[in-house]
Amino acid sequence: MNFESIPLQGFLIVSSILFCIGIWGLLNSRNAVRVLMSIELMLNAVNLNLMAFSSYVDNNLIQGQVFSIFVITVAAAEAAVGLAILLSLYRNRVTVDMESFNLLKW
């Protein structure tokens, strides 16, 4: 078992970049489906972070892996509910443009 090979920082940087791409997509997408995809990207970045720490810092108890399983579960629930909300929005507005979902704007 040689963990000196890939530094922990490599995984952390990859997950930081993935998270920032997700935030950019979340802020800039006008298609609601793409917004959901960006959220999934961000959740994956968080998972990658948890897994990297659990392998390098907590490699015997691996509680990070258990946490990332829970994150995957919540992500699945979130995707299902998010897409259902999207479908019902589309049924009422006939568009998926984020700029037209402004019912809560005052």
Partner 1 sequence: MSIAVTTQFICFAVLSLVIIVGALGVVLLENIVYSAFLLGGVFMSVAGLYLLLNASFVAAAQVLVYVGAINVLILFAIMLVNKKEDLKPMKYLNSRRLISTTICITLLSLLIRVDLSKVWEIANPNLSIGEESTVRIGEHLFSDYLLPFEVASVLLLMAMIGAIVLARRDVLTKDISTGLPVDQELIEKSDKPLLIKKN
Q: In the range 32-71, which residues lie near partner 1 by CB under 8 A?
A: 32-34, 36-38, 40-41, 44, 47-48, 51-63, 65-66, 68-70
**Rg of the Cα atoms in the chain:** 18
Give the count of residues interacting with partner 1 (CB under 8 A).
Answer: 84
Compute the least distance from the CB of residue 39 to partner 1, in Å.
Answer: 10
Return the structure tokens found at 94.
């006939």
Q: Is 104 in the site for partner 1 (CB under 8 A)?
A: no
Q: Say how far apart CA 40 and CA 79 lie, in whole Å.
A: 8
For residue 81, give the H/E element and its range.
helix 63-93
One residue of 3, 46, 104, 106 binding partner 1 per CB under 8 A: 3
Compute the least distance from the CB of residue 50 to partner 1, in Å.
Answer: 9
